[in-house]
Amino acid sequence: MTITRRHLLTAIPLLALVKPAAATPEAMATAIASYTGNKLPKTGKVTFDIAKLIDNGNAVPVTIRVDSPMTEQDHVTGIAIFNEKNPLPDVARFTLGPRAGKAEVSTRIRLATSQKLSAIAQLSDGSYWQQTVDVIVTLAACIEGEAM
């Protein structure tokens, strides 16, 4: 069988499938909605500490602080990180409580490319708060995972 131009054209959608699926802003919005139970998080209370310019996307230090007294009546019950353009919109979900004493979590995450990140905090009164940051990534994580 000779390969015609028509065959090549039909192969292009297949090549696109080889590339790992990337999360989209819509996928991030859906993941956030499932975390908050369709409540729209308010902006504030949360401090998302991350470098604006990231050299190495394989291990990006992040710190999330929430302004909360952390008492039995008023505390943070959860903190979650979401991203826009990694293969999956979820990064991590932390469960806290009044025993935590301080609503602050640090970790290291992977970033596939320059994108928007959201940190969402759930408070004991049922409200959700967020902060969104834009970051630039020069060396992407999982670059060897990219087909083409």
Q: Are 74 and 97 a contacting pair, CB within 8 Å?
A: no
User: Which of 86, 93, 87, 88 lies closest to 114 in space, CA to CA?
Assistant: 86
Tell me the C-alpha distance between 20 and 146, whole Å.
7
Q: Which is nearer to another protein, 87 or 133 (CB)?
A: 87
Site string for another protein, 89-128 (x = CB under 8 A): -xxxxxxxx-xxxx-xxxxxxxx-----------------
Q: Does the footprint of another protein cover residue 60 (CB under 8 A)?
A: yes
**Phi/psi zone of residue 18: left (φ > 0), alpha (ψ -120 to 50 degrees), beta?**
alpha
Q: β-strands 60-66, 104-109: how paired?
A: antiparallel
Tell me the C-alpha distance between 114 and 106, whole Å.
21
Tell me the C-alpha distance between 93 and 78, whole Å.
7
Q: Using CB under 8 A, count the residues that bind another protein.
A: 33
Q: Does the footprint of another protein cover residue 25 (CB under 8 A)?
A: no
Q: Does the footprint of another protein cover residue 137 (CB under 8 A)?
A: no
Q: Which is nearer to another protein, 83 or 130 (CB)?
A: 83
Q: Does the footprint of another protein cover residue 17 (CB under 8 A)?
A: no
Q: Which is nearer to another protein, 25 or 101 (CB)?
A: 101
Token pair 């952390």 is found at: 70
Q: Does the footprint of another protein cover residue 73 (CB under 8 A)?
A: no
Binding segment for another protein among 6-14, 43-51, 122-130, 140-148 (CB under 8 A)?
A: 140-148
Helix extents (H) in 25-129 = 25-36
Q: Please report, as ranges, the residues that interact with another protein according to CB under 8 A.
A: 20, 58-60, 83, 86-88, 90-97, 99-102, 104-111, 141-142, 144-145, 147
